[in-house]
Amino acid sequence: MGILRSIVFYFNIFCMLYTLALSFVYIIQIVISYFVIRQNNEKKIAKDHKHYINSDNLLPISIIVPAFNEEENIIENIYWMLNIEYPEHEVIIINDGSTDNTHSKIVAGYKLKQINPPIKISLKTKQIRAVYFNPQYPNLIYVDKEPGGKSDALNTGINISKYPLFVCLDADSMIERDAILKISTEFLKDTKTVVAGGFVRIANGSVIENGKWKRFKMPNLTIERFQIIEYFRAFLSGRVSWNSTNSLLIVSGAFGVFNKSIVIEAGGYKTDTIGEDMEIIVTLHQYLRNKKRKYTIKFIEDAVCWTQGPMSVHDIRTQRRRWQIGLMDSLLHHKSMVLNPKYGSVGLLSLPYAWIFEFFGALVEGFGYFVIPLAFLFNELSLFFFLLYLAVSTLLGILISLGGLILEQNTNRGAMTVKQCMQLTPYAMLENFGYRQFITLCRVEGILRYHGLKSTWSKVKREPFNQ
């Protein structure tokens, strides 16, 4: 009993220090991001992506869209993808063995006919059943293939694509019309750019017309409001700050632009993972640093893609579990990079951070929810300190969430009115009472069920965008 008490006591202390350290790191990230975003705002007037709308000197781009059971939005989303502001692009839809009506809807919706195009097999993939095309939509290619997962679908898209840059885009997401234009000019101005990711925003509630965001409307469900706050925090604090040291570990699978030849050189997407978005970025870091090549992986907060956040507890649980498994997979696969000076800021900063705070964070926080009350029960923690710990950790959590909202306002996008911003503020507080704990438990579940859930698409139910 004495040993158990000692374990509980020390774990207790460890949890408290860990929470403080984590909050401290988050606050530093917010401060760095605040200044970076301000600097980027100042640069905005000098940016001139619109100059290239009518130029034939932009790098042509292939938009690769893996689809699995996407019958709800797919027809409409393909339409917006075909109509983005970009001089030369193709849209490649890869149906990864959908079990719903995705296939028939696309074929009928765009009057596609089966063709037999030449394909250069740069990456090994599952078999293609058929390729479809309609000369009326010369930029659209639809591929029906054997199921192999999202990574396999992306690799198929890379094989089919004919342009030097490719965008991986989720079938249930909608990019803003000028988003790719904004990102691809980065590849012109800096030849070291190998990947550039955009800002994925939660579309729930927002009104989007003709692929253009019109106005923000507060979503109805509490769970959606929490996710808005979460995305602000994750993208504007995490991604922006890691971007400043060229050590981003993830470019969202929903929207990223890649240099195709480098991705092929690095072996393409690893097919035995569901966290392909993180895996490909860490693989590229490893490959390019092994080759001692100069490169940059960028996050462009101004290039926006809209996605629908899950609207049910079940769906959010599935999503977060999947994210955690993806994270764990990449961290385990690239463990040799950790604290290895050869990999620079990635090996010395971002990967250790991901191990300590993203991976173990879920475990420490999860077990903390049980052990700290246990310590209180065992009288190893006085009521005063128990409440104090709760108060400090909650207040820090609220400060960090508010920081995310401040960063969003700092982007000068002017998306929300004062009233809407104030309406969201209580959710920045409330998410620390229940939601955050629920997400942590989903992440712990992901870790515990790592082997069982490692190779599923884990679909989340979506609804059509507000028009």
Partner 1 sequence: MLTGIAITSIVVCFVLFIILFIWLYAIAEKQEEKNKKSKESHRRIAEMLGAIIDSPTNTSQSDEIYVLSSFIDKDKHERIDILSNILIEGLLTDAEDERGRKALFMVFELLKPQLHYSKMLRKGTANEKAYACKMLSAFYQVNEIPEIRKYIFDKNKELSYNASLAISILGDEDCLVKLIDSYKTNYDYSHRIILELFRIYSGDIRLLAIRCLENSNNYIKASIFKAVAKYKIVEFEIHYLYGAQDRDPNIRVASIKALCEIGNPKYEQTLINAAQDTMWYVRSTAVKGLGKINTVNSRRALLDAVRDNEWWVRYNAAHTLVSMDGGLEMAEKVIGGYDKFAADAVKFALYKTYNI
Q: Which stretches of the chain bind partner 1, using CB under 8 A?
A: 42-48, 51-52, 55-59, 113, 115-120, 133, 135, 138, 162, 187-192, 384-385, 388, 391-392, 395-396, 398-399, 402-403, 405-406, 409-410, 412, 414, 416-418, 421-422, 425
For residues 200 and 238, what is the distance between their CA atoms, to the nearest angstrom? 13
Shortest CB 393 distance to partner 1, Å: 10
Which strand (E) or helix (H) includes residue 214?
strand 212-215
> Which tokens belong to 181?
């234009």
Closest CB to partner 1 among residues 115, 339: 115
Shortest CB 51 distance to partner 1, Å: 7
Shortest CB 252 distance to partner 1, Å: 25
Following CA atoms 426, 243, 323, 19 in sequence, which dihedral angle do they give, to the nearest 10 degrees?
-60
For residues 168 and 198, what is the distance between their CA atoms, to the nearest angstrom? 11
Residue 274 backbone phi and psi in degrees, to 5? -105, -5
* CA nearest to 361, candidates 67, 14, 82: 14
Closest CB to partner 1 among residues 319, 393: 393
Shortest CB 220 distance to partner 1, Å: 22
Please identify which residue in the block is written with the tokens 């939660």: 202
Helix (H, G, I), strand (E, B) or coil at 257: strand
Closest CB to partner 1 among residues 132, 235: 132
Work out the angle between the directed axes of helices 2-44 and 360-377 (0-180°, nearest 10). 140
* CA nearest to 307, candidates 166, 409, 401, 213: 213
Shortest CB 192 distance to partner 1, Å: 8
Shortest CB 406 distance to partner 1, Å: 5
CA 215 to chain centre: 23
Shortest CB 116 distance to partner 1, Å: 5
Q: What is the DSSP string of 368-424?
A: HHHHHHHHHHTTSS-HHHHHHHHHHHHHHHHHHHHHHHHHHHHTT---S-HHHHHHH
Closest CB to partner 1 among residues 77, 411: 411
Contact between 62 and 163 under an 8 Å Cβ cutoff? The reply is: yes
Shortest CB 388 distance to partner 1, Å: 5
Closest CB to partner 1 among residues 209, 463: 209
Closest CB to partner 1 among residues 16, 311: 16
Closest CB to partner 1 among residues 425, 466: 425
Q: Give the chain's end-to-end CA distance (angstroms, integer).
A: 62
Shortest CB 423 distance to partner 1, Å: 11
Closest CB to partner 1 among residues 283, 411: 411
Closest CB to partner 1 among residues 128, 448: 128
CA 121 to chain centre: 28
